[in-house]
Structure 1
C-alpha cells in the first residue's frame, strides 16, 4: 500500500471538508446580513422574509430556515466536486447565487477554475459571474447608492477570487518550470558524465587491448618462434592484461562512486606529459618502431590539462597505428614553449594495398573525440591521410 499517496488523498479530503464548512458558514452569514438589508452580490430574484410576523407564520419560518440554512449548506457541499468538475460546479453556483446567498461558495468555485483551467475558460467564467451586476443595476426602478454599492462589492469579490486563483496558478507554473529546468540540467549533467566516462574508457582500454592483440597475433602467425620470444610475448600479454584490468577497475570505481553534492564525480588518476615515455616504451615492446623529435622547453611548466590532452592524442594515434598500420614506422614530433603553445604531430606510413594482415576493429570515434577534447581546452586538432602517410596534428594552449 502506498501510504504517502493515501496520506495525500486524506489531506485533500480534509481540506475539501474545511472549504465546504467555511463556505457554508459564510453563506449563512451573508444571508443573515441580507435580512438586515446588506447585500454583497446582486440577486435578480429572492424571497423576502424581513418584517414577517411570527404569529401564525410557521410555514414562512420553515421556508426561511431552508432558504438561509439548508440551501447554503447544500450549495456549499457542491464544492466537494470542485477538483473533478470545476467548471460545472462554478457555473451552477454562480447561477444559484443570483437567487440565493451562495456567493461565498461561488467565489471558491471561481478561484478553483482560475487556478486549474485555461485563461479562456477563466475569462468565460469571470464574464458569467460579472454579468448579473449590470443587469441588477438596470432592473432597479430608481438608481441609488445601495444598488451601485452592491454591484461594486460583487465585482470586487469576483475579481479578487479570480485574481488570487491566477496568482497561485502562476506560482505553480513557475515552480513546474523550475523543476523541469532542474531535471533538464540534471539530465544534461548525466549525459556529459556518460560521454566523459565513455571517452575515458576508450582512451584507457583501447591502447591496452591493441597491444594484447598485436602480441597474440604475433604468436598466432609465428607459432614456431624461439622459446625466449614466446616467453617475452606472453609476458607482455600478461602485463598488458593486468594493466588493462587495473585501468578498468579505476573507471568502474568512478562509476560506483556516488555523485558529490556539487554533482561531480572524483576523476581517476590522470596521465601527464611525463608519462609519454612509458607509453612509447610499451608500443616499442610490441614491435612498433617509433622515432621521436622532442623540442619542448620548460617541460615542467606544461599545464596539467595540456599535458593530459597531449598524452591522450599520442595514445590514440599509437592505438590507431597498432590497429591499421601494424609494422609501419611512426614519427612523433613535440614542440612548444610557454606563451607559444604546444604543437604535436604523429605520422605513420600506411600499409600498401596488398597488405594481407587484417586490421583490428575500431569504433571510428576516437580521433573525433580527441578533436572535441582539444577544443574543450582551447586548442585544435586535425587528422587525415596524405598520400601514404597518416597524420595527426594538434596545437594546444600553453600560457606564458
Structure 2
C-alpha cells in the first residue's frame, strides 16, 4: 500500500478549526508578550510597534500554513527574533509543519525558532535577566517539545487515515466480490437455461413447422407429430422447473433429475435422428467411463448446441459429429455441417448467438477452448477440453 501524503491524512481546516487554533495561538502570545510590551513601550517605543506589526503579519501568514507549510514555518520562526507577539503564530506554524514529519526540514525550522528565542533578548528589552545559556536551554526544551508534539499528531492522523482507508477498500472489495458472484451466478443460470431449453424448443419448432407446411400428412402422422410436440413440451417444462430451482436453492442445481454426462451423448444423437436430422456420429474416446463428470457434461452441451444450431440454420443437411481423446490428450469435439446458402431454407427459429457465448464461457471454466468457424461452405464448431478440469 502506498504511503499517504500529508494532504491526505491531515484533516481539512474548517472555520471552527481555524477559530480554536487561532484562539490558542493568541492566548500563547497574550501570556508571553505583555511584560515585554511594557518594557518596549517605556524604553524602545518603535520596537513596540515593530513587534506588534510583525505579530499581526505572522498571524495572517499562519492561515496559509497548509498551502506553503515550509515557507510559513521558516518565516514565522525567523521573525520571532524581533517579535514576541508572534510567538503563538510561530508555535502554530511549527506544530502544523511538524505533522508532515519531514525530519530534516523540521530540524531546520527548529533551529531557526531556537535562534529567534536566543537573539531577541540581545536586541530588545527583556523582563528576564537570565544568562544566555538558561534562555537557550529553555528555548531548546520548548522547541523540541513543540516539534515532537507536531510529529505525534502527524503519526496519529496518518494511522487513522490508513485504518479508515483500509476499511473503505475492504468494503469496496467486498461489494465487488458480491457483484462478481451475482454476475457469475446469473451467467451460470443463463447458460443452464439456454442449454436445457434451446435443444428441446428447436425440436418443437421444427415439428410445429412441419405441421404448418406439410399438407400431405395423414391423420395418424399429424396425430403422431402432435404427440411428439406435446412430449417435447413437457420435457422442456420439466427442464425449466429444474433450472428455476436454482433461484430457490443455495446455488447448486437440484438433483431430482440427473445432469447429462458423456454417456448420454448417444441418446442425444439418437433423439436428433428421430426428429429427422441426418447425423454421422464418431466416438474415439479411450477409457470413456473414466471421463470426469464436468468434462463429460461440457462435451454433451457442446454437441447439443452444435446439433441445435444445425437444426435451426441448416435443416436437412448431414451433420458430422466426432468426439475423440484420452486422459493424456484431452477431449477433442468437432461438429461440422454444410453452411446455409441462399438456396437453403433455414428454420424461422430466432437465435441471438447466446448459446455459443455460454458454451465458450463453460469451456473456459473447464480450462478448454471453443471456436466457431466457416471454411468455404462448411461450418464447424470445434472445442477442446482437458481431461482433468
For normalisation by structure 2, the TM-score amounts to 0.67
Distance 1:307 1:126 in 2: 74
Segment of structure 1 superposing worse, 353-362 or 285-294:
353-362
Q: 1:90 to 1:235 in 2, by over 3 A?
A: farther
Distance 1:250 1:92 in 2: 72
Q: CA deviation at 1:313?
A: 0.5
Hey, what does 2:185 align to over in structure 1?
193
Hey, what does 1:275 align to over in structure 2?
264
Q: CA deviation at 1:351?
A: 4.1
Segment of structure 1 superposing worse, 266-275 or 205-214:
266-275
Distance 1:385 1:310 in 2: 21
- Secondary structure of 1:99's aligned partner: helix
Hey, what does 2:154 align to over in structure 1?
162
Q: 1:268 to 1:280 in 2, by over 3 A?
A: farther
Q: CA deviation at 1:162?
A: 3.1
Q: Which runs of 5+ in 2 are unaligned?
A: 1-11, 32-64, 74-89, 96-109, 127-131
Hey, what does 1:349 align to over in structure 2?
338
Hey, what does 2:252 align to over in structure 1?
266
Q: CA deviation at 1:357?
A: 4.9
Contact 1:346 / 1:393 at 8 angstroms: preserved in 2? yes
Contact 2:206 / 2:347 at 8 angstroms: preserved in 1? no
> Could you list the per-position Cα deviations for residues 202-261 of structure 1 after superposition, in whole angstroms to 9, with x for gaps in the alignment?
212111211111111111112552122212211221122122222222222212335xxx
Match of 1:150 among 132, 142, 154: 142
Contact 2:315 / 2:347 at 8 angstroms: preserved in 1? no
Match of 1:98 among 23, 28, 33: 28
Hey, what does 1:29 align to over in structure 2?
none
Q: CA deviation at 1:315?
A: 0.7
Contact 1:280 / 1:290 at 8 angstroms: preserved in 2? yes
Distance 2:162 2:30 in 1: 32
Hey, what does 1:108 align to over in structure 2?
none
Q: CA deviation at 1:362?
A: 0.6
Hey, what does 2:210 align to over in structure 1?
218
Match of 2:281 among 273, 292, 298: 292
> Could you list the per-position Cα deviations for residues 150-174 of structure 1 after superposition, in whole angstroms to 9, with x for gaps in the alignment?
2322222233233212211121112
- Secondary structure of 1:348's aligned partner: strand
- Secondary structure of 1:98's aligned partner: helix
- Secondary structure of 2:29's aligned partner: coil
Hey, what does 1:339 align to over in structure 2?
328
Q: CA deviation at 1:337?
A: 2.6
Contact 1:294 / 1:334 at 8 angstroms: preserved in 2? yes
Distance 2:29 2:94 in 1: 14
Q: 1:181 to 1:86 in 2, by over 3 A?
A: farther
Distance 2:136 2:346 in 1: 106
Distance 1:373 1:238 in 2: 30
Segment of structure 1 superposing worse, 303-312 or 357-366:
357-366
Residue 361 (structure 2) pairs with residue 377 (structure 1): no
Q: 1:166 to 1:83 in 2, by over 3 A?
A: same
Distance 2:228 2:329 in 1: 39
Contact 1:130 / 1:158 at 8 angstroms: preserved in 2? no
Q: How does 1:1-400 map to 2 (within 5 A)?
A: 85=15, 87-89=17-19, 91-99=21-29, 127=73, 129-131=92-94, 134=113, 136=117, 138-140=119-121, 142=132, 143-258=135-250, 265-269=251-255, 270-398=259-387
Q: 1:274 to 1:88 in 2, by over 3 A?
A: same
Q: CA deviation at 1:395?
A: 2.4
Distance 2:163 2:27 in 1: 30
Segment of structure 1 superposing worse, 314-323 or 194-203:
194-203
Contact 2:94 / 2:147 at 8 angstroms: preserved in 1? no
**Residue-pair matches, total:** 295
Q: Which runs of 5+ in 1 are unaligned?
A: 1-81, 102-118, 259-264
Superposition RMSD on alpha carbons, in Å? 3.0
Distance 2:66 2:174 in 1: 30
